[in-house]
A and B are shown apart, each in its own frame.
Chain A
Amino acid sequence: MNRYPLWKYVLLIVTLVLATLYTLPNFFGESPAVQVSSGRVTVKVTDAMVQQASKIAAAAGVTPIDAYFEAGSVKLRFKDTDSQIKAKDAIQAALGSDYVIALNLVSDTPAWLAKLHAKPMVLGLDLRGGVHFLLEVDMKAAVDKALEKTAGDIRRDLKAKKVRYGKISKERDRVEVQLRDAETLAAANKALRDTLVNLKVETVSSDGNYKLIVTYPEAALLQLKNDAVKQNITTLHNRVNELGVAEPVIQQQGEGRIVVQLPGVQDTAKAKDILGRTATLEVRLVEDDQAKLAEAINGNVPAGFELMTERRGSEGESVPILLRKEVELTGENINDAQAGFDEQNAPAVHLGLDATGASIFKDLTRENVNKRIAMILVEKGKGEVVTAPVVRGEIGGGRVQISGSMNVTEANDTALLLRAGSLAAPMDIVEERTIGPSLGKENISKGFNSTLYGFAAIAIFMMIYYRVFGVVSTLALGANLLFLIALLSLLGVTLTLPGIAAIALTLGMAIDSNVLINERVREELRDGQSPHMAIQNGYQHAFDTILDSNITTLIAGLALLIFGSGAVRGFAWVHCLGIMTSMFSAVFVSRALINLIYGRRRNLTTLSV
């Protein structure tokens, strides 16, 4: 009666120890750090950077306390902000503009804890300060653009295949091609089906009206939208890097929306400026005359030329390259860039050009066989050569394939970069929040204090009112808080101010289970049960009620989670987890303690409740 077997106590102790371990990181505080991350898509930060950056900092007279590589960036910890700033300047000077060097705060959690994946809770923007944007990709514009391009493609295609056509027009969600008779209709249909592989081509022929209708099927439309969002996210990443933000969050939210969170940034105007800019792609001719190139490298660039650098090889070493200043073609005329494979099954990038682009490109390639043309991504007023392939022959038809010494990742990166200069659908800012750092600090202390005072009031009351059982309840409540914070830290849930409110509310509601148990035990005693029976029955009866009432609360919590965005989501996470932990602690922890206190006493006559 009222004794738990040893394994239950062991289990309890193990869970408590684990919970304590995972709660610990939240108490270590933070120290200033410098974060090194990639400033361009073509640059990858690797493990090797840890050594390199540490050396640079040490050379500048500030040795980092700790340096490690995590999630694509290197972080170096310093003892104070002075050495942090010194190190930042030194590293920035040494590494140049290919890397983003940002100031950051990292947790002082000791290494042995970090190895166990114990990390402090992530603080939301409302507790840390920073900027939050919600951007909406203009899907209509993206689709319109695609339809325009398709209309151009059809025009060119039918011309090339000598099919006579009437008017080609872009309607709301389709392209219509007017034709003269059934014969040309069939011919056009056949021609287009070959070229527009993933589009739907329908023929309409009624009373002397012959039409081809080209539409985007659902799958192609979805692909189009996803590409637009993905590409915009990439572009945003590149730009945010320029702001030197320590840990930006850039994610897709729902269909066609992107969330951008920049912790610690205060200057919204600048942030918006940078996010709103577009990159452009330029195609120019390469001057491979070695004499001119050598001259240019010596600082004497011939008129009408420009010296840039090109990345080659897997190490990404920079090679100087001399370009003509005339822009032959811009990203406006490139409507698609996809990574794929060429005939030899080597990785390649396939470009699709619109009608204008195709004819320009045809002339360009015809006149420059065996020369190189460069594709340059111009962003922030600075150009970078993405790729500079050699022209093997005249390329007509608007389909260009670039292949050569690249692997699959490089092909993907190149395609992405080429798309970044062209396709990006326009975006609108539909939501924006800026929270000052002082407000964040205030929010934390206010949330923390209100939880503390509330908890203290409840604990004092319980102990006075229920005596020993009250002390046990308070301990169970404490354990509940420990479990909850450990879980939140472990799962990496972002803590927001509503989240703190939910912690307070969870504690307030968790007391319900304890009160149910204590009242039930009292009642059993009143009904003349022996103390041991009273404990047994009290817990048992109360458990049914606890289960029922908590499940209904959980249903409400889950609904919040499903619907939740931002603030509400933070609240819902804590709410749902809190219900789980409070059930566990009210039933298991408090019973274990009571059994520990009363279980061994055979001749128990009274309970202190």
Chain B
Amino acid sequence: MEFFHVKRDIPFMSYGKLTTAISLGTFVLAVFFLVVKGLNFGVEFTGGTVMELRYAQSVEINQVRHGVESLKYGEVQVQSLGTTKDVMVRIPNIKGKSSAQLSNEVLDSLKKERSDVELRKVEFIGPSVGDELFTHGLTALILVCVGIVAYLMIRFEWRFALSAIIANMHDVVIILGVFALFQWEFSLTVLAGILAVLGYSVNESVVVFDRIRENFRKPNLRGKSVPEVIDNAITATMSRTIITHGSTEAMVLAMLIFGGAALHGFAMALTIGIVFGIYSSVLVASPLLLMFGVTRDRMIKPERIKEEAVV
């Protein structure tokens, strides 16, 4: 059985300008949302107290919100957690009150209204921890980039390394942009997901690059121009790309559907990451390669042809 076998090379590179323009547009939009709306940082980054409550019978969110707001803690958030019984309450850090006091007060005040509420989870994060996470997260991101660039420079050459990392940073920024647009919570697991996407999406570019390098070495592709060689490489890896991503996406979707609230952000980041990972490895990294001026002679050491003396 074969679905995705394409007989003729698809001229991807001729669309190079268009795809790069689309990318640039999306990228700018993502940056715009990041700047204007900003990320909705989870409690790990901002500090504060998060409580997860469960009611035995379904409950009106407004009722809970009203109950929590009557305590006057400033900016509290009350959201439902996917069901009518599960509620999440987020309270900012308050000077002079420990998280235990806070959570007890909230629970007591809610118990007065409805006795069937139970506390399922409390998380309290001090303000200092959040700042650290921030720097740690950035450090990790930079470390990943440097490591990947170094490895690709050794295995291929600098043009490949640079295009791959640009394409992947573009993925990361777009995921962040989507999170900013919808104001989904950006938590620590989402960050882990994003770093995983980074590795994943580089992996994607590497598969295409590998093929490009191989094509440069193939004798039957000798006469072709560089764009044609790249087109052939992308087309050849096309079916594998679709199947692999289909499989991974199936896994991630299973997480998204069955994984519940705890895995939601992580699965969401990966879902977006995989879609853009395909796009960027094919339609961003390769045109960039062309722009940086990759050529056959630069990829493989030219064989010396012995000059015969003419007598």
Chain A positions near chain B (C-beta within 8 angstroms): 126, 134, 136, 268-269, 272, 428-436, 438-439, 442-443, 446-447, 449-451, 453-455, 457-458, 461-462, 464-465, 467, 497-498, 501-502, 504-505, 507-509, 511-512, 515-516, 519, 522-523, 541, 544-545, 548-560, 562-563, 565-568, 571-572, 575
Contact = CB atoms under 8 A, between A and B. Distances in A.
Contact of B250 (A432, A443, A457, A553): A457
Contacts of B260: 442-443, 446
10 contacts: A269-B100, A269-B104, A433-B124, A447-B263, A453-B258, A504-B251, A505-B251, A555-B148, A565-B136, A566-B188
B305 interface: no
Contacts of B244: 511-512, 515-516
A553 B144 CA distance: 9
B147 A559 contact: yes
Contacts of B250: 454, 457-458, 461, 508
B222 to A, nearest CB: 17
A256 B219 CA distance: 63
A432 B259 contact: no
Interface of B: 1-3, 52, 98-100, 103-104, 118-126, 128-129, 133, 136-137, 139-140, 143-144, 147-148, 151-152, 155, 188-189, 191-192, 195-196, 198-200, 202-204, 206-207, 210-211, 214, 236-237, 239-240, 243-244, 246-255, 257-260, 262-263, 266-267, 270
B140 A559 contact: yes
Given A436-B120, A559-B140, A461 B247 contact: yes
Given A446-B258, A567-B189, 7 more contacts: A134-B126, A446-B260, A465-B1, A504-B252, A552-B151, A559-B143, A571-B192
Contacts of A511: 244, 247-248
Q: Identify the 7 closest CB pairs spanning chains A and B, nearest first.
A: A556-B199, A508-B251, A430-B126, A454-B254, A508-B248, A454-B251, A563-B140
Contacts, number: 222
A126 B262 contact: yes
A560 B148 contact: no
Contact of A439 (B52, B211, B257): B52
A434 B102 CA distance: 14
A430 B202 contact: no
A47 B153 CA distance: 58
Contacts of A269: 100, 104
A571 B192 CA distance: 7
Contacts of A268: 100, 103, 122
Q: Which of A454, A462, A554 has the most CB of B within 10 A?
A: A454
A545 B144 contact: no
B259 A446 contact: yes
Nearest to A449: B258
Contact of A545 (B136, B207, B258, B259): B207
Given A450-B257, A545-B210, A548-B155, A433 B199 contact: no
